[in-house]
């Protein structure tokens, strides 16, 4: 069964959301989804950018003014 | 009204000009163009943090202090800037413009948010980092704009030296960050 894990990075500035995402993704199995919550506009750019470069499936959703959810499905 | 805003959100021009970030190259070209505009109109290359030192001096004068005898403000140029006053300094208006422009851009992209402070550790790190950066920028006679960007644009070797040590600082900073914030 594929898991869904939430990673709360609200109020964290760059590059902490990115480093936390890297670590959290390491713990997951292929097929699992990590949902990263961010409210820092540069994390909204560099977290998806990094994850796509690693070959994962990424979707970015704007939840509210200045708040985003990054959906990362681990592909390998 | 709601459908009006929903329509704007789908508009390609809105996305291009306000919602999506500019590509790095576009940003670099715009910065260079405005650097030239700044140089030709004010006679000085672009700087940011030096203006804050002047703001500090004006604040100090406002409460009755005097910086006349301070070495940092002893040059005739610095004295002339201080004597001309807060409102006649091009740097004052440029810095206020940066704040206003950044606010406008964030609001237009509906990205403005007042964030919660997560921990006291964050406050201490921010204050400590701010003090170190401010002090460093003053003894280096410039920050990453005045010393690095404007320095390199003026073909000054000091800009490249600044860049090299900024990297050293960034590496040390990253190590500290991982140690204390992860």
Q: What is the ipTM of this complex?
A: 0.77
Question: According to the model, what pLDDT value does residue B36 have?
Answer: 94
Inter-residue contact B150 to B45 (CB < 8 Å):
yes
Chain A: residues touching B (Cβ < 8 Å):
10-12, 15-16, 19-20, 23, 39-41, 45, 62, 64-67
Name every chain B residue with its beta carbon within 8 A of the beta carbon of A41.
Answer: 106, 111
Tell me phi and psi for residue A60, to 5 degrees.
Answer: -115, 130
Task: Convert the pLDDT of each residue in B90-116 to its tens digit.
Answer: 999 999 999 999 999 999 998 899 988
pLDDT averaged over every residue in chain B: 92
Question: According to the model, what pLDDT value does residue A14 have?
Answer: 85
Write out the two tokens for B40: 């030709």
Write out the two tokens for B73: 């403000």
Partner-chain contact B115 A39, CB within 8 Å? yes
Domains in chain A, start-ordered, CATH in brackets?
4-73 (3.30.110.40)
Written as one string, the DSSP assignment of B90-138 is HHHHHHHHHHHHHHHHHHHTT---PPPP--HHHHHHHHHHHHHHHHHHH
Task: Convert the pLDDT of each residue in A21-75 to its tens digit.
Answer: 999 999 999 999 999 999 998 899 999 999 999 999 999 999 999 999 999 999 9
């Amino acid at each position: 069964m594929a898991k869904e894990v939430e990673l709360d990075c609200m109020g964290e500035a760059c590059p902490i959301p990115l480093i936390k995402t890297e670590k959290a993704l390491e713990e997951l199995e292929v097929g699992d989804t990590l949902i990263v919550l961010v409210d820092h506009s540069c994390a909204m750019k560099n977290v998806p950018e990094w994850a796509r470069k690693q070959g994962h499936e990424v979707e970015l959703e704007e939840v509210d003014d200045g708040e985003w959810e990054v959906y990362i499905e681990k592909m390998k | 009204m709601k459908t009006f805003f929903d329509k704007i959100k789908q508009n390609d021009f809105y996305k291009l000009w306000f919602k999506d970030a500019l590509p790095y190259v576009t940003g670099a070209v715009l910065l260079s163009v405005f650097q030239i505009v700044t140089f030709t109109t004010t006679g000085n290359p672009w700087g940011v943090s030096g203006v804050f030192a002047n703001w500090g001096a004006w604040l100090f004068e406002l409460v009755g202090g005097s910086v006349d005898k301070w070495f940092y403000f002893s040059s005739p140029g610095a004295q002339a800037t201080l004597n001309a006053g807060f409102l006649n300094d091009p740097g004052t208006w440029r810095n206020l413009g940066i704040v206003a422009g950044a606010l406008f851009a964030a609001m237009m992209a509906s990205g403005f948010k007042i964030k919660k402070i997560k921990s006291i550790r964050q406050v201490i790190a921010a204050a400590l980092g701010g003090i170190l950066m401010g002090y460093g920028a003053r003894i280096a006679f410039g920050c990453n704009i005045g010393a690095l960007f404007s320095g390199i644009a003026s073909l000054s070797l000091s800009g490249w030296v600044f860049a090299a040590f900024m990297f050293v600082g960034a590496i040390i900073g990253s190590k500290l960050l991982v140690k204390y914030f992860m």
